[in-house]
Amino acid sequence: MMERVQPKPLPPHNLPELRQVGKPLRRVDALGKAVGATVYAADYSMPNMLHAKVLRSTVPSARITRLDVSKAHALPGVVCILTNEDAPNAKLNTDMPGQTGKKARSGSDAPVLAKDVVRYVGEPIALVAAESLALAEQALGLIEIDYDELPGVYSPEEALKPGAPILFEPDNAVARWKIRKGNLEAGMAEADVIVESTFKMPFLEHCYLEPDAGVGWVDEQGVINIRVATQVVEHFRSVARALGVPQNRIRIRGTMVGGGFGSKEDITVEIFLALLARVTGRPVKLVYTREEVFTSTAKRHPFTITHRTGVKRNGKITAAQINMIADSGAYPYLSPYVLLYATGMAAGPYKIDNLHVDSVAAATNRTFTSAFRGFGGPQAAVGYEQQMDEIAKALGMDPLAVRRANYMTTGDTTGTGQVIGSAVWPEECLTRAIAALGERTPDTPTRKIGRGFSSTFQSYGRITWFHDTSHAWVGIEMDGTVVIRCGVPDIGAGQSNSLCQIVAEILGVPLAQVTIYATDSAVTPLAGTSTATRQLYMSGNAVTMAADHVRKTLVGRAALEFGVSEEQVDLADARAFVKGDESTSIPFPDLVTKCAAEGLELAHLSQFNAPFTNGIDPETGQGDIWPDFTFGAQAVEVAIDLETGQIELLKSAACHDVGRAINKAAVIGQIAGGSHQGLGYALMEDHEFNGGVPRTTSFADYLIPTTVDFPTTEVIVLESGTGVGPFGAKGIGEPALTPAAPAVANAVADALGVRIPELPFTPKRVLEAIDKRRQKKDG
């Protein structure tokens, strides 16, 4: 690989310096968290509160032949036990709120409590509520259950074979997508070389530090309240549907979330708490154990991806055929959409005129898979970026040169024919990441150095036929302090802070003068999900609209006061002043008082709508899917111990065009943190199953990166100012993770001279690869 790379010059772009936006200010949520004052879902308690536990299946595929709760019920202190008989119609509808234009998927509804049949280890069967946690745990042990084990399927390939046991009629194919663009045969015929490769990746667990938790109760209006760690307060609708009550009788009060990464996008404890609170009439608390988090919450989809690519000698791709098989686990949850993401991004940030993609997600008797940071995008990248290096190898070309020959540029279309209107900077990002690695570390006799990189793109904002919206309210108080009301769940990525920093900028107040009330489905305007890298884009635009209204009032009234035009007035440091003559000014308390006395609008509720589209053509897969894309890249250097097979990550650098950084420190944190998750994906993490039985159910079995495993990724932030978010921002939450794993894969292949087809690159797999290479040489 090329040792010295000059960063590609950036096109001229001029971002004005702002007063608050872009600055690495201390986040509004930081101090409370630092001193332990932030109260998380499991920290809440209420008077007269019960404690709940969930009885879960211990087998992956079985008929329940006997379920006897009588002994558990007889235990003093046990207040309530619920099984499917008590809530036969309670189903978990996993379709997302606000989604229209797409039929509900058949067979997608999971029973809240299993009826007759269990389909994975960890599936909920019964709920217990007792006076103490210890009693609830004891009661679980007293529930008698007999199973008649049924044949199961434990891989998607197996699930799709004729004669395989079917989880849901008519077949195990939960979802299929396809792309038909150009003429594949003609493109392949044009090629000088055809390169074919297959890549595999495992189940992953999110490993947020805060286990799922909540408290539910019925209030004095009869409304069921659920205080819960969630990425989606709009799940009140799904809870209402499951309970058969009107949607305005369920209130979700989100808490500060101790990490979500997509897993808290799905319903976790909400319906259990609602059912128990309704039946008992008492507050009920449910906190998952770490083991439950492993066995019973969503996982990242394992994928097997095959690329067949036709290329010219000069590196230009003439055609690509991509097949994807994903494991959806025992219930569909968001699998159809994760698969759509993987399909739509399957070809990477490259211009490929002749493209076929076929993808399928199949049901198996393993833990259900659903959203995980990147939502199928990272899996696609593990495929296309390794394939780019395989093409380079087949042609004897530099991998960077192959990418340069195929990069999209602004105005080009994606695999689904979507035109990208924002800056398309894959090469600008990649060349900077490579340059940041500096000098190559030399090999030693027992330690081989490898370098690799990847160039990726990732959508931000939800699928555009979901007709996504966000609402935000902004107001200024009589003393000049500012309030935001916005239903945004803060999952730790700085969602709340970004909104505060934007409003502080627009209204000209210090960040400390802005207070946000967030994540309550009843009292904060609904802002949609904290998923899909959409909150800065969606709610950032919503608060911008609302704050602009308030600003207009303040500027207009100040202009009148000063006897100047509105264009001559600016706001900063909680006062209005005349531009160029700051001595002519009025402090906000005085200005607001005047506005209030005249009945001027000092608060505003705004709704931001994402672009609405009608979906893609089901036969060709052509059409718009996302609002926009973030381009990024990563370069890494690894050292492989040829005797032990241990891989040491020596250097890592990532570069992303974030459009505009709202808070520079937060952006760096997102990229460095996302990178670490991606590095874990490549080098450590594997949620293993023995058939349908999960083998890694604790942090002792499932290893995630600690402080000593990897160096911190060096972060390079580019700001094209061309995103569709506020101030030209693009999203960075998910894109941050995407390039890390394929970069490592390419570095490992560079060091070994052979490619290990399956993540993660454990010492065992490395040693096998070294052996294979030796045999090849000897043979």
Stated as kind and residue range, the H or E segment containing 453 is strand 447-460
Query: Interface with another protein by CB under 8 A: which range of 186-194, 334-342, 667-675, 742-750?
Result: 667-675
**Which of 160, 394, 603, 672 is the binder for another protein (CB under 8 A)?**
672
Query: Which residues contact residue 690 at a Cβ distance below 8 angstroms, ignoring those fewer than 6 apart?
Result: none
Strand order of the β-sheet with 569-572 is: 569-572, 575-578, 581-587
Q: Is 676 in the site for another protein (CB under 8 A)?
A: yes
Q: Is 168 in the site for another protein (CB under 8 A)?
A: no
**Which of 15, 18, 605, 665 is the binder for another protein (CB under 8 A)?**
665
Q: Mask 38-67, x = binds another protein (CB under 8 A)?
A: xxx-xxxxxxxx------------------
Stated as kind and residue range, the H or E segment containing 181 is strand 173-181
Shortest Cβ 207–another protein spacing (Å): 5
The count of residues interacting with another protein (CB under 8 A) is 63
Alpha-carbon distance of 84 to 242, in angstroms, equals: 12
Q: Is 491 in the site for another protein (CB under 8 A)?
A: yes
Pick from 497, 491, 488, 481: nearest CA to 30:
497
Alpha-carbon distance of 256 to 497, in angstroms, equals: 12
43 or 688: whose CB is closer to another protein? 43
**Which of 150, 704, 717, 754 is the binder for another protein (CB under 8 A)?**
704
644 or 712: whose CB is closer to another protein? 712
Query: Interface with another protein by CB under 8 A: which range of 92-100, 119-127, 461-469, 662-670?
Result: 662-670
**Which of 9, 12, 16, 36 is the binder for another protein (CB under 8 A)?**
36
759 SS3 class: coil
**Which of 8, 15, 18, 26 is the binder for another protein (CB under 8 A)?**
26
Q: Mask 237-256, x = binds another protein (CB under 8 A)?
A: -------------------x
- Burial (Cβ within 10 Å: 0-12, 13-18, ≥19) of residue 294: buried
**Nearest 10 degrees: Cα torsion 762, 766, 771, 775:** 130
**Which of 11, 13, 34, 65 is the binder for another protein (CB under 8 A)?**
34
Q: Is 523 in the site for another protein (CB under 8 A)?
A: no
Shortest Cβ 141–another protein spacing (Å): 15
**Which of 521, 530, 675, 738 is the binder for another protein (CB under 8 A)?**
675
Instruction: Kindly provide the residue ranges of all beta strands, DSSP E only, lying in 575-669, ordered along the sequence.
Output: 575-578, 581-587, 603-609, 628-641, 647-657
In contact, 262 and 373? CB cutoff 8 Å: yes
Shortest Cβ 667–another protein spacing (Å): 9
Query: Interface with another protein by CB under 8 A: which range of 14-22, 393-401, 518-526, 671-679?
Result: 671-679
Q: Is 32 in the site for another protein (CB under 8 A)?
A: yes
**Amino acid code (one letter) for 494:** G
- Burial (Cβ within 10 Å: 0-12, 13-18, ≥19) of residue 50: buried
Shortest Cβ 524–another protein spacing (Å): 16
Compute the chain's Rg from CA coordinates.
Answer: 27
**Which of 492, 627, 692, 694 is the binder for another protein (CB under 8 A)?**
492
325 SS3 class: strand
Pick from 698, 609, 84, 632: nearest CA to 378:
632
Q: Is 512 in the site for another protein (CB under 8 A)?
A: no
632 or 669: whose CB is closer to another protein? 669
Q: Is 258 in the site for another protein (CB under 8 A)?
A: yes
Q: In whole angstroms, how far apart are CA 254 and each of 53, 154, 480, 558?
A: 21, 36, 28, 38
99 or 441: whose CB is closer to another protein? 441
Shortest Cβ 131–another protein spacing (Å): 9
Query: Interface with another protein by CB under 8 A: which range of 120-128, 178-186, 209-217, 273-281?
Result: 209-217
Q: Which two tokens stand for residue 609?
A: 């709508």
Alpha-carbon distance of 256 to 496, in angstroms, equals: 10
In contact, 415 and 623? CB cutoff 8 Å: no
**Amino acid code (one letter) for 151:** P
37 or 597: whose CB is closer to another protein? 37
Q: Is 524 in the site for another protein (CB under 8 A)?
A: no
Query: Interface with another protein by CB under 8 A: which range of 285-293, 408-416, 551-559, 756-764?
Result: 285-293
Alpha-carbon distance of 675 to 146, in angstroms, equals: 45
**Nearest 10 degrees: Cα torsion 577, 579, 582, 584:** -50
Q: Is 717 in the site for another protein (CB under 8 A)?
A: no
Pairing of strands 250-254, 224-228: parallel
Pick from 379, 308, 299, 311: nearest CA to 343:
379
**CA triple 173-388-392, angle to 5 deg:** 145
Instruction: Kindly provide the residue ranges of all beta strands, DSSP E only, lying in 247-312, ordered along the sequence.
Output: 250-254, 284-287, 303-311
Q: Is 520 in the site for another protein (CB under 8 A)?
A: no
Strand order of the β-sheet with 355-363 is: 173-181, 355-363, 317-329, 303-311, 193-201
Q: Is 290 in the site for another protein (CB under 8 A)?
A: yes
Shortest Cβ 126–another protein spacing (Å): 23
519 or 585: whose CB is closer to another protein? 519
Alpha-carbon distance of 363 to 332, in angstroms, equals: 7
Q: Is 651 in the site for another protein (CB under 8 A)?
A: no
**Which of 6, 100, 690, 707 is the binder for another protein (CB under 8 A)?**
707
206 or 235: whose CB is closer to another protein? 206
Q: Mask 115-134, x = binds another protein (CB under 8 A)?
A: -------------------x
Shortest Cβ 439–another protein spacing (Å): 20
256 or 602: whose CB is closer to another protein? 256
DSSP conformation class of 106: T
**Which of 177, 199, 261, 303 is the binder for another protein (CB under 8 A)?**
261
Q: Is 31 in the site for another protein (CB under 8 A)?
A: yes
Q: Is 219 in the site for another protein (CB under 8 A)?
A: no
Alpha-carbon distance of 418 to 194, in angstroms, equals: 26
Query: Interface with another protein by CB under 8 A: which range of 96-104, 208-216, 346-354, 750-758?
Result: 208-216
In contact, 276 and 79? CB cutoff 8 Å: no
Shortest Cβ 26–another protein spacing (Å): 5
Tokens 């949607």 correspond to what residue?
247
Cβ neighbours, 10 Å, residue 199:
24
Query: Interface with another protein by CB under 8 A: which range of 77-85, 448-456, 604-612, 709-717?
Result: 709-717
Cβ neighbours, 10 Å, residue 36:
8
Pick from 254, 313, 227, 174: nearest CA to 490:
254
Q: Which residues bind another protein (CB under 8 A)?
A: 24, 26-27, 29-40, 42-49, 134, 206-211, 256-259, 261, 287, 289-290, 491-494, 665-666, 668-669, 672-677, 698-700, 704-708, 710, 712-713
